[in-house]
Structure 1
Amino acid sequence: MTSESRDESRTTVPSNAHLSDEQASARSGRGAGASELSVDTRENPVVAAPLPPLPETDAAEAAARPVAGPPLEIDADQESALQSPEGAEPASAPSALRLTQVTKSYGGTDAVTEIDLTVPSGAFYGLVGPNGAGKTTLLSMIAGLLSPTAGTLEVCGVDLRKHPREAKKLMGVLPDRLRTFDRLTGRQLLYYVGVLRGLKPGVIADRTNDLARVLELTDALGRVVSDYSAGMTKKIMLAAAMIHSPRLLVLDEPFEAVDPVSSETILGILSEYVRGGGTVVLSSHGMDLVEQVCSRLAVIVSGQVLAEGTVEEVKGSATLTERFVELSGATGDVGGLEWLHASSN
């Protein structure tokens, strides 16, 4: 039943005061059932309205197609957590990301142990640590790809465990070594992601062209993603993470397998995004890169945060690389390989 027909029914049907108890009870029961059904439909818009067919490579055709279902919106209850009530004093904006006692265990072994982190809005935040330190596990929990064993995660004030849909709408995610729909062309992939994010086809086409231009992917949009190089794949997935203009970007090794020229381009895009009020959380093994662009960082070793703060606070009087090596406990022992020396042959 449409909203118009429900409104009409309210004006033409007498009030329950003129009905018998049984009639009023039955009518009340039907109304409750309809409300529950409508909520379920909105919770799964893809099921309620199948996606339109993927476009050809021509952007004009994509712009002409209708959208499947209404755009996704933040629930009113959750929006109140992000905005001050009308007439009230403006409250300080919530942190872009807040982790409280977050733990992830596998078979009794903690991959991440009781991590507390607060990432302020508008920050360029780095997560660094040796291989196997738990960075990818932590980022996967932030992105909602893994559920924590314990603890809470909040994205712009929205509890990720209690309201995962609302929290995920605020994020763009680039996981490391993510498998994607690589039999689609680049343009089709971005269209598919855009529709899932609730964007109109015309908006998707415009943003696809803009992102492809700055990422130097325009000539590749008509090719299937499986034919892309590792660096091009990274860039098309970054475009997919940004197409819905999220408040928070979660990027796991965004510069891995990307050439220096493309790295500078991506850095420029992310820096402009942060200057516009967005927040970036990324992991990287490049200490020079982290020191250059990050306003804050955390050093994670064996699933625990050993240092956190501004770059200057973390590195102290040493270089960031020296401080990283010190915290990670690397010994630098390269002895015992004399058999590799040419003189030993």
Structure 2
Amino acid sequence: MEATVTVPALEIRELAKRFGEKIAVNGISLDVPTGSCFGLVGPNGAGKTTTLSMATGLLRPDAGHVRIAGVDVWQHPTEAKQLVGVLADGVKLFDRLTGEQLITYTGLLGGLDRETVARRCADLLAMLDLNAAAQTLVVDYSAGMTKKIALACALVHAPRLLVLDEPFESVDPVSAANIRDILQSFVRGGGTVIVSSHSMDLVERMCDHVAVIAAGRVLAAGSVSEVRGSSTLEERFVELVGGRAHVEGPSWLSRS
């Protein structure tokens, strides 16, 4: 009897992107296992956001290819984008709509019928504690509420892969805990989550796989236990990336 071969939720091969003289992504290859919570970590300017933008069809790569559940993102973009939900860092929302209108618009744009959109919109608003703000314009939302409504839009079409770029930035601890519960439930239900974050503690607690990237290259990838070894993920990250300076502050900062 032949073993069943599981197609990766996301397959990246030799992905590259240059902006003028700057090489942002330099031949990155990664496999994100189906059903995993995968952390993508790296210093500022490492190429995380550029990589995720190319992986989800938001930015065309200079070289390489990407497949979501076996579907080539750039050869079959419509089919691939139906499989993925994206919370992109810094991407402008249609913030002159109310929260309810924004989720509804996103669901209809994704091809859902109005009845399904209405039902899912109500579920998402309740789940993310946004019922009280449902009729408020998104432009008047706090930074944390904006993150939550963007997550609702990423979830409304029930994607197989969820790609989140800094999803917990500006989110209060209670909301962050609720979002983690939602994502863990999504993974238990057979979905796959990719989280890009600067918080090593969060990635270590939440993710089962992780990749460390710097200067547009993968420095380490695998299960969290494999990558961190006998140290913490933060210690391993600093060891791989380098740049830590053990220096004392200037004398005028000392009170003793």
For normalisation by structure 1, the TM-score amounts to: 0.71
TM-superposed deviation, 1:165: 1.1
TM-superposed deviation, 1:166: 1.0
Deviations 1:32-73 (A, max 9, x none): xxxxxxxxxxxxxxxxxxxxxxxxxxxxxxxxxxxxxxxxxx
Aligned pairs (5 A) from 1:29-178? 92-178=5-91
Deviations 1:96-133 (A, max 9, x none): 10011111111143111111100111010000011111
Does residue 255 of structure 1 match 2:165?
A: no
Code of the residue aligned with 2:26 in structure 1: it is T
TM-superposed deviation, 1:90: 9.4
5+ residue gaps in structure 2? Answer: none
Code of the residue aligned with 1:225 in structure 2: it is V
RMSD of the TM alignment (CA)?
A: 1.5
TM-superposed deviation, 1:333: 3.8
Aligned pairs (5 A) from 1:1-345? 92-335=5-248, 337-341=250-254
For the residues of structure 2 that align with 1:191 and 1:306, how far apart are their CA atoms? 41
More displaced 10-residue stretch of structure 1: 141-150 or 90-99: 90-99
| Secondary structure of 1:233 counterpart | helix
For the residues of structure 2 that align with 1:291 and 1:336, how far apart are their CA atoms? 30
Code of the residue aligned with 1:99 in structure 2: it is I
TM-superposed deviation, 1:335: 4.3
Higher-strand-fraction structure: 2
Code of the residue aligned with 1:299 in structure 2: it is V
Higher gyration radius (CA):
1
| Secondary structure of 1:318 counterpart | coil
Code of the residue aligned with 2:92 in structure 1: it is R
For the residues of structure 1 that align with 2:178 and 2:93, how far apart are their CA atoms? 23
For the residues of structure 2 that align with 1:219 and 1:337, how far apart are their CA atoms? 49
| Secondary structure of 2:136 counterpart | coil
TM-superposed deviation, 1:286: 1.1
| Secondary structure of 1:251 counterpart | strand
- Greater RCO structure (CA 8 Å; 6+ sep): 2
TM-superposed deviation, 1:276: 0.5
Q: CA 1:327/1:90 → structure 2, altered by over 3 Å: closer, same or farther?
A: closer
Higher-helix-fraction structure: 1
For the residues of structure 2 that align with 1:97 and 1:213, how far apart are their CA atoms? 30
| Secondary structure of 2:26 counterpart | strand
5+ residue gaps in structure 1? Answer: 1-88
